[in-house]
Amino acid sequence: MIRYAFWNNKGGTGKTSLAFQTICAYARERRSERILVVDLCPQANLSELFLGGLVLSGSKALMARQGASPRATIGGYFQERLSSPFSAQAFDYSDFTTTPRNSNRHIPRNITLVCGDALLELQSNSMYTLASTQIAGVNTWIAIMDWLRDFLKQANDDFDVVFMDLNPSFSIYTQVALANTDRLIVPTMADDSSRRAIQNAISLVYGLKLPSPIYSQHNFESRMTGAGRTLPKIHLVIQNRITQYMGNASAYKAVLDSIRSDIEKLMKHNPGIFTFSDIGNGIIDTRDFQTTGVVAFARGCPFTALSAGYVQVLNRRVRVNQEQLDRCRDEITEIVQRL
């Protein structure tokens, strides 16, 4: 069961929108595969999209899952673990899953969702405290990281691939997800803050270029490798929202070239943190989805299920251009082919 995570510790890179469209296109193309989606962002925007978006009351469907007993979200599962943080008690992973197709007919049938939950923010303080507890013979930090590992282990025989959408942070619940990720998909944008964000993300996960040796003993990388665990590998960097009309020949080109140069240097000195050896296989450009993306987001609709022409978005009729829709589909298809 391969485990992918969409993550950048900078917000606004289009991570959730890319995750939604990529997962749906992947599921449609590989209908025989069973796909588990875990929303580990407390904003739960990905869950709302899968459950219907704005038009089909995705937020209402999400609230219903949060009101289930047990709470059918990742927060509900973590809540169960808080009572037995260092040993997995009996649980049934399916108690915390949702079939989005039941709420949103646009979603492929082979997708199962673990909904996101704002409860994660409340739980994070308890999780930090537990992970810092000193107990003889127990690696409490790893025990907390293994909450998700236990969940995925139980679900392993029922799914072929896992996709996770992570919060743009390095909170402990984000670390839990990263500790259980095989391949990282990192969306970025053509600006200097995105370049710095990639550098910061690599420092946080792999312990590279830390500002002081004092951080080397207790960072994510040292704790993972010290426990004999493997780190996720960067599988794809998506340079997202490249301006449609200006393209790579614009003023953004210098920033894009800098990001590419940074990654090439990392590949030379730290090849083990990447799944690719040819940078051309690891970087992909996508342009802004514009009106088509706005409509798809509002309707909780993958590009593959969206039709060109006028569509109703609440009280407005919005026109989806066929050429733009085809381009959006092609952009996502190229990402899926890299997975």
Q: 109-158, pLDDT tens digit by residue? A: 999 999 999 999 999 999 999 999 989 888 999 999 999 999 999 999 99
Angle (CA) 30 33 39, round 5°: 100
Cβ-based neighbours of 192, under 8 Å, separated by 6 or more: 255
Q: Which CATH code of 3.40.1080.10, 3.40.50.300, 3.30.70.1530, 3.40.50.720 fits the domain covering 2-338?
A: 3.40.50.300
pLDDT at 216: 53
pTM value > 0.85: yes
* Average pLDDT of the chain, as a whole number: 89
Asked if 306 and 320 touch (Cβ cutoff 8 Å), the reply is yes
pLDDT confidence tier of residue 249, bands split at 50, 70 and 90: low
What separation, in Å, do the N-terminal and C-terminal C-alpha atoms of the chain show?
13
pLDDT at 213: 53
pLDDT at 137: 86
Query: Tens of pLDDT along 197-226?
Result: 788 888 899 988 655 555 555 689 999 999
Asked if 270 and 208 touch (Cβ cutoff 8 Å), the reply is yes
Query: Tens of pLDDT along 56-65?
Result: 889 999 999 9
